[in-house]
Structure 1
Amino acid sequence: MEKTDPGRKMKVLLHSHFPAGHCYPMQAAAQALVSRGHQVVWLTSGDNEARVRLTGADFVPTFALAAVDAPLMRRHETGLLDGDWGRHRGRLLAQVDEYRSVLDGFQADVLLVDVLPHGARALFELGEIPVYATLGVIPMYSSAWNAPHAVSGRQPPTTWFGMLVNWLRHAYIRWIVLPWSLRPVLNGQRSVLGLGGLPYGQPLEAFTYSRFLHIQASSPTLEFGMRPAYLENVSYVGPLVAQLKSPSTQNLPDWWERAVAHPRVIGITQGTLAMDPTSLIIPSIEALSPDPGNLLVVVSPHSAGLERRFGQGRHGNILYADWLPYHLLLPLLRLLITNGGYGSITQALSHKVPLLCAGQTEDKKDTAARVSWAGAGIDLKTDNPSAEQVRTAADRILDDSGSYLENATRLGVELNALGGGETVCDALEDLVRRTRLTEKPLQDIGRW
Structure 2
Amino acid sequence: MTIDEGNHSNNFHPEEAKTNGKPRGERRRLPLLVMSACPLAGHTLPALHVARELVKKGFEVIFMTSTEFRDNVQAIGAEWSETAPCWPDAAVAAAQREKIPVGPARLVFDVETVFLKLIPTRTADLRSLLERVRERDPAREVVVVTETLALAVFAFQYGAPLPRGYDAFPKSIGLNVVPLLVSSVDVAPFGSGLPPDATEAGRARNRAMAEELREGPFKRLVALHKQILTDMGCTRTPERALFDGWLESFDTMFQMCSPSMEYPRSDLHPSIRYAGALPKMGINSNLKYPSWWSEIWANAALPAGSPEKKYVIPVAQGTLAVDYQEVIMPTIKALAGRDDVIVIAMLGVKGASLPADFEIPANTRVVDYFPYDAALEHADLFVSNGGYGSMTHGVINGVPMVVAGITEDKVEVTARAEYAGLAVNLKTQTPSSEQIAAAVDKVLGNPDYKAAAVRLMKENRDMDCHTVIEREILLYSKGN
TM-score (norm 2): 0.79
SS in 2 for 1:12: strand
Give a deviation string over 1:342-401, Cα, whole Å, max 9, x none.
Answer: 112111111110010011101111111111111111000001000100000001111126
What stretches of structure 2 of length at least 5 have no aligned partner?
1-25, 99-103, 135-140, 164-168, 300-309
Pairs within 5 Å for 1:415-430: 415-430=460-475
Given the alignment, which residue of 401, 414, 427 partners 1:355?
401
- Contact kept, 8 Å, 2:38 with 2:150, in 1: the verdict is no
Relative to structure 1, the CA distance from residue 179 to residue 377 in structure 2 (aligned partners, 3 Å threshold; closer, same or farther) is: closer
Q: 1:308 deviation in Å?
A: 4.2
User: Residues 195-344 of structure 1 correspond to what in structure 2 (within 5 A)?
Assistant: 195-198=234-237, 200-201=239-240, 204-226=243-265, 229-239=268-278, 241-243=280-282, 245-248=284-287, 251-262=288-299, 263-300=310-347, 301=349, 305-306=353-354, 308-310=356-358, 312-313=360-361, 316-344=362-390
Separation of aligned partners in 2, 1:158 and 1:320: 45
Q: Which has the larger displacement, 286-295 or 231-240?
A: 231-240
Partner of 2:416, secondary structure, is: helix
Q: Quick one: which amino acid aligns to residue 355 of structure 1?
A: M
> Which string of whole-angstrom CA distances, capped at 9 and with x for unpartnered residues, describes residues 133-160 of structure 1?
2211110133221123211111112754
Classify the secondary structure of the residue corresponding to 2:170. coil
Q: Sequence identity, in percent?
A: 24
Whether the aligned pair in 2 keeps the contact of 1:353 and 1:408 (CA below 8 Å) is yes
CA distance in 2, matches of 1:323, 1:362: 22
Q: SS state of the match for residue 472, structure 2?
A: helix
Match of 1:161 in 2: 201
Deviates more, 1:108-117 or 1:29-38: 108-117
Are 1:82 and 2:130 counterparts? no
- Counting matched residue pairs gives 422
Q: 1:138 to 1:74 in 2, by over 3 A?
A: farther
Report the Cα distance in structure 2 between the residues aligned to 1:429 and 1:121, rounded to whole angstroms.
22
On the 8 A contact 2:47/2:146 being kept in 1, the answer is no
Moved more, 93-102 or 35-44: 93-102
The answer to whether residue 138 in structure 2 is matched with residue 101 in structure 1 is: no
Q: Report whether the alignment pairs 1:60 with 2:106.
A: no
How far apart, in 1, do the equivalents of 2:93 and 2:60 lie? 35
Are 1:34 and 2:55 matched, yes or no?
yes
Match of 2:29 among 8, 15, 34: 8
Task: Indicate the residue corresponding to 2:4 in structure 1.
Answer: none
Whole-angstrom distance in 1 between the partners of 2:251 and 2:68: 30
Point out the more displaced range, 381-390 or 192-201: 192-201
Counterpart amino acid of residue 274 in structure 2: S
2:305 match: none
Q: Which runs of 5+ in 1 are unaligned?
A: 438-448
Greater relative CO, 1 or 2 (CA 8 Å, sep 6+): 1
- 1:140 paired with 2:140, answer no
Note the aligned Cα RMSD (angstroms).
3.0
Task: Answer with 68-77 or 258-267: which moved more.
Answer: 68-77
Q: CA deviation at 1:6?
A: 11
Q: Please give the alpha-carbon distance, in whole angstroms, between the structure 2 residues aligned to 1:412 and 1:92.
A: 35
Matched, 1:122 2:122: no
More deviation in 229-238 or 332-341?
229-238
**Cα deviation 1:133-189 (Å, max 9, x = unaligned):** 221111013322112321111111275423321133335557x57995444423433
Distance 1:173 1:72, change over 3 A: farther
Change in Cα spacing, 1:380 to 1:90, as seen in structure 2 (3 Å) is: closer
Report the residue type matching 1:207 in the other structure.
W
Once the two structures are overlaid, the 10-residue window that deviates more, 238-247 or 145-154, is 238-247
Q: Which amino acid aligns with 1:268?
A: V
Quote the Cα distance in structure 1 between the aligned partners of 2:331 and 2:363. 13
Give the Cα separation in 1 of the matches to 2:433 and 2:105. 31
Return the offset for 1:59: 1.3
User: Structure 2 vs 1, CA of residues 377 and 235 (structure 1 numbering), >3 Å: closer, same or farther?
Assistant: closer
User: Offset at 1:422?
Assistant: 3.2
User: Given that residues 114 and 136 in structure 1 are in contact (C-alpha distance below 8 angstroms), is that contact kept between their aligned partners in structure 2?
Assistant: yes
CA contact (8 A) 2:398 2:450 kept: yes
Distance in 2 of aligned mates of 1:178 and 1:159: 26
Residue 337 to residue 227, structure 1, CA distance change in 2 (3 Å): farther
Distance 1:164 1:421, change over 3 A: same
Determine the C-alpha separation between the residues in 2 that align with 1:188 and 1:203.
13
Q: What amino acid is the match of 1:9?
A: L
Following the alignment from structure 1 to structure 2, what is the Cα–Cα distance between the partners of residues 417 and 73?
A: 42
Give the match for residue 110 of structure 1: 143
Range with greater deviation from structure 2 (116-125 or 207-216): 116-125
State the SS of the aligned residue for 1:132.
strand
What CA distance in whole angstroms lies between the structure 2 residues aligned with 1:382 and 1:303? 28
TM, length-normalised to structure 1? 0.85
Residues 122 and 303 of structure 1: is their aligned pair in 2 closer, same or farther, counting only changes over 3 Å? closer
